[in-house]
Amino acid sequence: MRLEFQRIEEANDLVNQIIEHHPQAIFLADHNFKVKYFNKAFQNLTKSDKGDILEHEFCEIMGCTQRDKIIESDNSFCKHCQIRDLLSGSNLSELVLIRDFYIHNKIVTKHLHIDAHRVVMQGQKYRLVVMDDRTQKH
């Protein structure tokens, strides 16, 4: 089936509804790794308020336990992070991540399957990220 729209607003509304009601966590990050948009499933995954998500980095929102840990004296872990690589627009577009996060002041191990897709809107480059939380399945 092919969908045809009379106006761009109709297409935008459909896409927004699909993303908002999608069961997997979805967010849009800019070139500085800041979250610009997210759906309800992402908010539920992070257990965060809207103000604690928008304009913050994914690892900051999730409470990554590896954030800013030093590997060598001149480099931080974040510079070598798989998530940062995924969001930077590298050739990496899919990632399975098993990592500890601080969620509500408790360490929680999450099993995440993450897909990232390049998106350009109004001349700006973004990464659309879809996350499947497989923690309960393991």
pLDDT, residue 37, reads 95
Could you list the residue range(s) of the whole structural domain that residue 94 is in? 23-137
Predicted TM-score (pTM) above 0.85: no
pLDDT, residue 10, reads 86
Q: Low-confidence residues of the chain, pLDDT below 50? A: 73-75
pLDDT, residue 133, reads 94
Q: Is 60 exposed, middle or buried (0-12, 13-18, 19+ CB in 10 A)?
A: middle
pLDDT, residue 7, reads 86
Counting the structural domains of the chain, the total is 1
pLDDT, residue 132, reads 95
- Stated as kind and residue range, the H or E segment containing 109 is strand 106-121
- Rounded Cα gap, residues 90 and 120, in angstroms: 15
Strands 25-29 and 124-133: antiparallel
pLDDT, residue 78, reads 63
- Rounded Cα gap, residues 29 and 86, in angstroms: 11
User: Helix and strand tally (H, E) in the chain?
Assistant: 4, 7
Percent of the chain scored above 70 by pLDDT? 88
Q: What is the CATH number of the domain that holds 39?
A: 3.30.450.20
pLDDT, residue 4, reads 83
Nearest 5 degrees, angle CA 33-CA 39-CA 40? 130
